[in-house]
Structures are given as structure tokens and as C-alpha cells.
Chain A
């Protein structure tokens, strides 16, 4: 598609200069959508994962539902949601949040499951109630797996946010979309490059968070 536009440079810097506000707004919207998606996703996934850990029979059912939701195309979800939630941020967030659940719940459960049996028995022996055991021992020890899940989810969400350009949201996706619609390389390249940079920075940042949260794992 781009082959014929020989005269069109990959980036027209004059366009970038004239549109710094638009690019900044898109970047901000992208961060907002990603942040909200992960925050809401964790608020749902954390208790759900704990519940799945406690009541084992729940786990396959939750994974099954999350797995099916993961396969629903976002466009179909948008079409389904539009009559109810309209062209709002909510319509953009619902599919994005649903897509995070599969990985987040799985990692919360994996994290809790990774707690060594002797640690759990020791906590029990110290007389900690199940709730305190969860808060003081199990969740902190599950942090590496949970943050690993958040890292994967963050990177995929940063990519997925772009699709919400279809309903007038989309952050950097609106730049990519504009570039595709007009066969115009500059917004396409700028939108794509910023998305990749954002995903990389988020991944590195979360790797740092993971380090801070698990001081016992350092220096290994």
C-alpha cells in the first residue's frame, strides 16, 4: 500500500511540529486508557484469583469464561456495547479490561500457588488466621508472578488500546488510523513508534517495580 508513495518521506517533521499538541493528547489518552484498564483489571482479577486459589473448583470455570472473553473480537464487543454505553470511554474500557482477566487471574493464582508449603505451614503454626496469612505471607510472596502478569498485560493493552480508535477513542491508535485512512506515513510512523516506545518503557518500569517489591530476590 505504501509502495507507490515514493515521494512521501517516512516522517514529515513539519507535520510533527505542527501537531505536537495532538500527539501529546493522543499519548495522554493512551496512558489514561492503559492505566484505567490495568487498574480495573487488577481490582477484578486480584479477588477473583484469591477466590480461585481458595475454592479450587472455581478456577477452571473462571479460566474458561476469561478464555472465551479473550477470543471475542473487540469490534464485535463494541457493536454489542454501543447501544448501551455509546461512544464513551466505558465502551472502550470494557473489552480492554475483559482481555486482561485471563492473564491477570492466571498469574495471581500461579503466584499464590508458588508459595512453598513449608512457608504456609510455618505461618499456620504461628497461629495466623487465613486472612492475615493471605495478606502477610501469601500475597507478598505472589508478587513476582503477579507483577509478571501485569507486565505482559500492560504491554498487550498498550497495543490493544489502538483498536478503540474505531469508536473515537484510541489514543495513539487515532494517529495510526489517520495514517492508514489517508495513506499518510507520518502519523502512522509517529503513532506506531510512540506505541512501541511506551510499551518498552512500561515493561522496563514494571521490571523495576518488580525489583523494588521483591528485595529478597535481588543479588541472586
Chain B
């Protein structure tokens, strides 16, 4: 019995030491060192502070966050990234708490999240957003031309058959078509409610799939739905021959990509550096970046590195 006891205690201790022994690892999953010997716009900026760039759980967020992070790193900042985070509900508290310093956001969606009302007028939406974030000591920088907003897509085949170009062209056909969107779409004013109110579209059936995700895209491609919610910068649009119908009655408010930065870290070259990236970022450019990551399965950090190089940033 005596031997057994000490053996038992010893083995218990050993088990825990083994379990704990695996704990020495550091989580240095930051950005891999970008070549800073090549001169470019990014190297023209200078900074040494530590910054954390965050992003939520879709490729575009990761790509744009990598663009910010790699350019900041080329300028000399010590950059950490926290990517693929859960939804805005996870990221906004993290931003307010200072776990994240810089975050790519969308002017309209973020204003809606903050209980504001985005419009089709960018300066107005932007000033509302700035006013909502100022008390939280968060600063909105200059938005990029690139927009990622709700788009309603059909296949090119459907578009040809029904001669569709813009959303109002759908009106006479909607009663024969199946619509697919996110599970929350029927309750959202910018989704199905807006399509009914602004465009008078009453679909034959509404399928609750995902918000511009694989279910919607597959269903659209296979013909299970004929109209699907697809985000305007989605890489699947060029990759799968979809056509995003023109929002001719301006249902969708502006939703430009914009960096949100904690006031406490907004010093030195951070603002001009991020603004220089935004200036070059278009919806078409973004769809192409998204296509490379989502369709071609390239890594977001590699795609971002190539873009920065191709656009003279590094």
C-alpha cells in the first residue's frame, strides 16, 4: 500500500507536469517579417510603437488587416495581428478595451451596429459614424473607394434569359423566383424588407441560407435559388459568373472599407499610412484579392504582400 500511494501521487504529479509542460509555447503568430529593404510608400513612413491589428471572420477582413499590418511593419512598427475573430460583437468590445488598436470596418454596417442610420450619402454617414465613435475614443480615418455591401446577384444565364441588369428589372419576375439570403435577412431592412419596400419584390419563396456565404453561392449556382444575397466585393462574382444587379433605387447605403483606430495609438504616421492604403483600394481590386483567397485558396498574408508590392507600397 505504501509503495502504491507514493507511486500514485508521483504519477499524478507527472501527468500534470506533462500537461503543463506543453505550456511554454509563445503565441507569436504575428505577421511574418516583410522585406523592408525594398523601398516603397510604406518604408517612407516611420514609427516604432507596438500596434495590434484585428479582423473578423471573413477573408476580406483578414486581407485588409494584413495590408495594414504589413505596411505598418515595413514602416518600423511592431505589429501583432488578431484575425478570424468572431463577429462584430466580439471585436468591438476588444477594440474599446485596447486588445485591438486598428480594425478594418465598413462605414454603413458599423453605423447600423451603433444604432445609427447610414444613408447613400458618404460624407453624412461618415460624420454620423465619427460622432458615434468619438465618445469611445475611436477614430474613423478616410474610407477607401472599395465597398462591400449587400448585393443581389443572379447567374449570368438568368440575367440573359430575363434581361436583367438592375434590381428594378426583377419586379415582374420575382413571383416566379426563389430568393436566398442569410437567416436574418427577412427581418433586416437592408435585405428582404428593403427589397419588398423599395423595389416591390415579392418572391415565390425565400430560403434562409447564409449571408453571402457558400450555401447561398452554391444554391445560386445550382439553381436552387435564382436571386441571392452576395456581397459586392465577393470573389465568387467573377469566379462563378454571377452578376450583381445594379441598386438603381439606392436601397443600400454606402459601406466603404474604412480603418478604425484607437485614439491613443493614432500618432505619427499611422493615419497617413493607413489612408494611403485606403486610397488605392477599389471594389474591383478587393474582389480580386478575395477571389485569390476564397477561390484559389491562397493565404491572406501572401495575397496582401503581393498587392502591397504591385501597388508600390513595399
Cα(A214)–Cα(B11), bound, Å? 10
A7, chain B: closest CB distance, angstroms: 11
Which residues on the B side are within 8 Å of A167 (C-beta)? 85-86, 90
Cα(A137)–Cα(B15), bound, Å? 20
Q: Are B100 and A87 in contact (CB under 8 A)?
A: yes
Q: Are A3 and B8 in contact (CB under 8 A)?
A: no
Chain A residue with Cβ nearest B28? A25
B287, chain A: closest CB distance, angstroms: 15
Which residues on the B side are within 8 Å of A140 (C-beta)? 1, 4-5, 8
**Cβ of A166 under 8 Å from chain B:** yes
Interface residues of A in 60-113 (CB under 8 A from B): 75, 78-79, 82-83, 86-89
Which residues on the B side are within 8 Å of A4 (C-beta)? 218, 221-222
Interface residues of A in 161-220 (CB under 8 A from B): 165-168, 174, 177-178, 181-184, 186, 209, 212-216
**Cβ of B272 under 8 Å from chain A:** no
**Cβ of B58 under 8 Å from chain A:** yes
Which residues on the B side are within 8 Å of A79 (C-beta)? 89-90
**Cβ of B310 under 8 Å from chain A:** no
Cα(A194)–Cα(B132), bound, Å? 45
**Cβ of A47 under 8 Å from chain B:** no
Interface bits A35-57 vs B (CB < 8 Å: 1, else 0): 11011001000000000000000
Interface residues of B in 105-130 (CB under 8 A from A): none
Which of A1, A12, A38, A82 contacts B215 (CB under 8 A)?
Answer: A1
Which residues on the B side are within 8 Å of A213 (C-beta)? 7-8, 11-12
Interface residues of B in 49-95 (CB under 8 A from A): 57-59, 82-86, 89-90, 93-94
Q: Are A87 and B214 in contact (CB under 8 A)?
A: no
Interface residues of A in 120-178 (CB under 8 A from B): 135-137, 139-140, 143, 165-168, 174, 177-178
Cα(A139)–Cα(B6), bound, Å? 11
**Cβ of B29 under 8 Å from chain A:** yes
**Cβ of B25 under 8 Å from chain A:** yes
Interface residues of B in 197-220 (CB under 8 A from A): 214-215, 218
Q: Are B100 and A143 in contact (CB under 8 A)?
A: no
Of A28, A86, A168, A183, the most chain B CB neighbours within 10 A belong to A168
Q: Are A168 and B20 in contact (CB under 8 A)?
A: no
Which of B5, B83, B93 contacts A83 (CB under 8 A)?
Answer: B93
Q: Are A168 and B84 in contact (CB under 8 A)?
A: yes
Of A1, A87, A167, A209, the most chain B CB neighbours within 10 A belong to A87
Q: Are A177 and B8 in contact (CB under 8 A)?
A: no
A83, chain B: closest CB distance, angstroms: 5
B7, chain A: closest CB distance, angstroms: 7
Cα(A147)–Cα(B122), bound, Å? 62
**Cβ of B39 under 8 Å from chain A:** no
Q: Contacts A140-B8, A168-B84; is A39 near B16 (CB within 8 Å)?
A: yes
Which of B4, B19, B84, B90 contacts A178 (CB under 8 A)?
Answer: B84
Which of A42, A143, A177 contacts B84 (CB under 8 A)?
Answer: A177
Which of A12, A166, A216 contacts B85 (CB under 8 A)?
Answer: A166
Chain B residue with Cβ nearest A136? B5
Cα(A39)–Cα(B16), bound, Å? 6
Cα(A213)–Cα(B16), bound, Å? 14
Which residues on the A side are within 8 Å of B93 (C-beta)? 82-83, 86
B278, chain A: closest CB distance, angstroms: 24
B206, chain A: closest CB distance, angstroms: 19
Cα(A215)–Cα(B10), bound, Å? 14
Chain B residues within 8 Å of A, Cβ to Cβ = 1, 4-5, 7-8, 11-12, 15-16, 18-23, 25, 27, 29, 57-59, 82-86, 89-90, 93-94, 97, 99-100, 214-215, 218, 221-222, 293-294, 297
